Structure 1
């Protein structure tokens, strides 16, 4: 399992110091890809732009959501992500696709006016749900791969990863999120490579 806990630093300046002292201290976690090792395949020049995923306001945050029920959203009091959920997923996808030398460039923005393909996505779930025996981590994303030149949709897909946990302790939840995101990013990467006819996986 590859994840990094970063210390949370509070800036205490001027009259904001008293307010900062009242804020709870949270451990900061960064989700990392399964591997950054390059894949051995033929080099190419295709350019892929991974757009920032869309998300509703309750997920467009660096807080870690855990649902007591289907209609209620709460957040872990002692932990948070290093970036917002959309930025975290975008970073993971960029790093996953960038392992393949079949792409001349993979990034958040094109090198010039437009890339060859754009990956558009929307985050439906990036949370844990309490269960009778612990928690269930659920990550689900819808995605489209679009030709940048004319806006044609090359492929559409929906992806989901679920992990059942026997605990709601923060370290166990983070481990569940880490395992689920590696599966989810792997699904999206394999789908995208197939849609773009990249000859190596």
Structure 2
């Protein structure tokens, strides 16, 4: 066994508890847009000089964009808005379009950074609301469990605000 490489640890994101007012229309949650390397299963580390690397021996359980979409939908469900959600095959009144701007470990400052742009777009294609959500979490050690948990906490701070905002805008 001496020559065998160990498999990377896999980490997941959690949905958040949320409350929101029932919106007038139905909404669907699109797969977020993200530039590489955020549209992968890599846990990204931003080094000094904005150089990007990956957290060694750690990865997300799926592509980050798919995890964010899934946990956003679950948070809508947690807010009691299941009846307003539509699958991608149905025609919703509104679409929630997300863009992952930051979802990384800022190594020089030892902080997990999450920044997500959100737009609520009507079925006619008009942007009815837009907002940028940011959150950060301090990080003691830049290692798999600590880094993934800090990113999960930062994302968890955004989810309830995002769902309440999107439900009110829809």
TM-score range, shorter chain: 0.7 to 0.9
Answering whether residue 13 of structure 2 is matched by residue 31 of structure 1, we say yes
Rg comparison, structure with higher value: 1
TM-score in terms of structure 2 length: 0.87
Answering whether residue 58 of structure 2 is matched by residue 79 of structure 1, we say yes
Stretch moving more, 63-72 or 150-159: 63-72
Residues in 1 aligned to 2:21 and 2:101: alpha-carbon distance in whole angstroms: 33
Answering whether residue 77 of structure 2 is matched by residue 98 of structure 1, we say yes
How many residues were matched structurally? 168
The counterpart of 1:145, out of the listed 85, 101, 120, is 120
Query: Runs of 5+ in structure 1 lacking a partner?
Result: 1-20, 197-201
- Kindly report the root-mean-square deviation, in angstroms, between the aligned alpha carbons of the 2 structures: 2.4
Contact 1:60/1:84, CA 8 A, preserved across alignment? yes
Change over 3 Å in CA distance of 1:67–1:102 after alignment to 2:
closer
Residues in 2 aligned to 1:172 and 1:54: alpha-carbon distance in whole angstroms: 26
Identify the structure with bigger relative contact order (alpha carbons < 8 Å, sequence gap 6+): 2
The 5-angstrom pairing of residues 1-201 of structure 1 reads: 24-35=6-17, 46-111=25-90, 114-131=91-108, 135-148=110-123, 150-196=124-170
Contact 1:46/1:103, CA 8 A, preserved across alignment? no
TM-score in terms of structure 1 length: 0.74
